[in-house]
Amino acid sequence: MEGCVAPVTDDVFVEGTRHAPRVAETSEGAQEMAPRPETDDAELRREVGAVLRMAEGPVVNANDIDIERRDDETMIINMGPQHPSTHGVLRLMLELDGETVLRTKPVIGYLHTGMEKTAEELTYVQGATNVTRMDYLSPLTNELVFSMATEALLDVEVPPRAVWIRMLMSELQRVSSHLMWMATNGMDLGSTSMMIYGFREREMVLTFFEKTTGLRMNHNYIRPGGVAADLPDGWEDDVEVICETVLARSFEYDELLTGQPIFRQRTEGIGNLSAEEALALSATGPILRSTGVPWDLRRTMPYLAYDELDFDIIVGTYGDNFDRYSIRLNEIRESIKMIRQIAARMPPGDYRIQDRKVTPPPRARIDESMEALIHHFKIFTEGFKVPEGEVYVAIESPRGELGCYLVSDGSSKPYRMHIRGPSFVNLQTVPVLLRGGLIADAVAIISSVDPVMGEVDR
């Protein structure tokens, strides 16, 4: 359109003269223009004042509001369970005074499918298929904790290669889970580019999982007795490409989010939690570490072979949204550091124990050996029997302490299997984090807790 780019009448403007007006012919008539430094005060005031730009914070001062009030002026609103930002089917009942959140009650159970009951009907061989569906963003850690609990009851030790493969997969899983969190958190804060980038990088990890386990999610790869299959040929190259790419891109996220003023204003000082509150509420994982408590089961109570790896525990200071963001971003880098060490030191050998009562014989043996056929048949029809006893095994999932309490009655099915889901417990911090904050920050705070509803409801 002609009116948009206004023709400048050059004959009026003389280069170098200080007050030479520059007149543009617009559809509104002639408009006088001058270089910015020469705009007079009245004109500047008119321009700046015309723009209504005000930070959200000063409009409602959270400190002015009495969060203990119990009169009729408050309003109770319902958020979810179909709300797009609640990461699944989380429902929150919020008590509001204006825009300030007073009390919150999370309502859960919309995704409850009775997985603990189902586990009592499945053999230990089938059990990993069940638990892998709980925390659907880090299925391998679920399989790992169930397998470790079963092995503790069986009192067997898996071969070193299986241990290191498990560790490799756990750390890749942590990278993919944190990338997914970066993506959804970015989306909740309005950064849709971050969402695309997070999913893009996660896809690389999932492709490697597909190559190794056959599936992108719900792998049933880590099983009692070891892992289902050895790593594919050329896995070192695939893993190195993932490490290189994700590490390089994690510094791009720094540019995109960490240094960005809007992102920092929306995360710094929002959703504060003290170390005492976090411990009292049994919070674990990045939430506990964000308050400054260096508690990471990989270091403090090492399992697998984490005591042989060199890595740092990332801790925060203030326990706010920004600390939780930084912890997860830096844990991606720590995990990559670990993955490189694991890839360099991967021991040779069996990828599952050679006890035919626990792991099935190789396919080729079934054609030759009657005994192998019998073992194969027994394992897949009846399963293996686990001695009577009870055990609680805990590992560090991307969300915190993932525990499995397993009771055996000596049969081939768990008598009782209880999963301590970190999301389920961490969700109790949401009312504390939201209290006294603005409703506009609620979505960011829920996101920073990183609940996975499949694990919360089980």
Partner 1 sequence: MSATGAADSAAIATGDPAAPGAVLPDVPRSGGRLVDEIAFPPRERYAEMVRAYRDAGFELCADLCAVDYLSHPGRALPDGVAAERFEVVVNLVSLSQKRRARIRVQVPEADPSVASVIDVYPGVDAMEREAYDLIGIVFVGHPDLTRILMPEDWEGHPLRKDYGVGRVPVQFKEAPGPR
Q: Which residues bind partner 1 (CB under 8 A)?
A: 108-109, 112, 114, 116-117, 152-153, 155, 274-276, 278-284, 291-295, 299-301, 312-317, 323, 326-327, 330, 388-394, 401, 403, 405, 407, 409-410, 415-416, 418, 420, 424-425, 427-428, 457-458
Beta bridge partners of 395: 402
Rounded Cα gap, residues 6 and 32, in angstroms: 12
Q: Which is nearer to partner 1, 238 or 457 (CB)?
A: 457
Closer residue to partner 1 in complex, CB, 127/316: 316
Q: How far is the CB of 10 from partner 1 (least distance, A)?
A: 56
Nearer to partner 1, 9 or 274 (CB): 274
- Phi and psi angles of residue 360, each rounded to the nearest 5 degrees, phi first: -70, 155
CB of 337 to partner 1, least distance (A): 12
Minimal distance, residue 385 CB to partner 1, in Å = 13
What's the rounded Cα separation, in Å, for the pair 416 and 258?
45
Minimum CB distance to partner 1, residue 108 (Å): 6
Q: Which is nearer to partner 1, 325 or 351 (CB)?
A: 325
User: Please, what is the angle between helix 160-188 and helix 192-213, to 10°?
Assistant: 160
| Smallest separation (angstroms) from partner 1 to the CB of 187 | 24
Give the H/E segment covering residue 443.
Answer: helix 442-449
The minimum distance between CB 427 and partner 1, in angstroms, equals: 7
Q: Is 78 exposed, middle or buried (0-12, 13-18, 19+ CB in 10 A)?
A: exposed
List beta partners, residue 29: 26
Residue type, 444: A
Residue 335 Cβ vs partner 1, minimum distance, rounded to whole Å: 14
Nearer to partner 1, 359 or 408 (CB): 408
- Smaller CB separation from partner 1, 24 or 111: 111
Minimum separation from the CB atom of position 384 to partner 1 (A)? 18
In the bound complex, what is the minimum distance in angstroms from residue 327's beta carbon to partner 1?
8
User: Whose CA is closest to 422, among 145, 233, 22?
Assistant: 145
Q: Which DSSP category does 255 fall into?
A: I
376 token code pair: 């194969």
Q: Let me know: does 391 contact 124? Beta carbons within 8 Å.
A: no
Nearer to partner 1, 260 or 428 (CB): 428
> How many CB atoms within 10 Å of residue 57?
11
Instruction: Categorise residue 324: left if φ over 0, alpha if ψ from -120 to 50, beta otherwise.
Output: alpha
- Residue closer to partner 1 by CB (options 92, 393) is 393
Tell me which H or E stretch contains 447.
helix 442-449
How far, rounded to the nearest angstrom, does the alpha carbon of residue 206 sit from its chain's CA centroid? Answer: 15
Residue closer to partner 1, measured from CB, 243 or 456: 456
Q: How far is the CB of 230 from partner 1 (least distance, A)?
A: 28
Which is closer to partner 1, CB of 46 or CB of 117?
117
Element (H, E) at 408: strand 400-408
User: Cα(411)–Cα(414) distance, rounded to whole angstroms?
Assistant: 7
**374 neighbors 391 (Cβ within 8 angstroms):** no
| Phi and psi based region of residue 314 (left: phi greater than 0; alpha: psi -120 to 50; beta: remaining) | beta
Listed in sequence order, the residues at least 6 apart from 336 whose beta carbon sits closer than 8 Å to its beta carbon are 175, 243, 246, 247
Minimal distance in Å, beta carbon 77 to partner 1? 20
Q: For partner 1, which is the closer residue by CB, 226 or 316?
A: 316
| The residue to which tokens 């009495």 are assigned | 66
Cα–Cα distance list, 178 to 199, 239, 311, 450 (Å): 11, 17, 17, 9
Rounded Cα gap, residues 98 and 66, in angstroms: 11
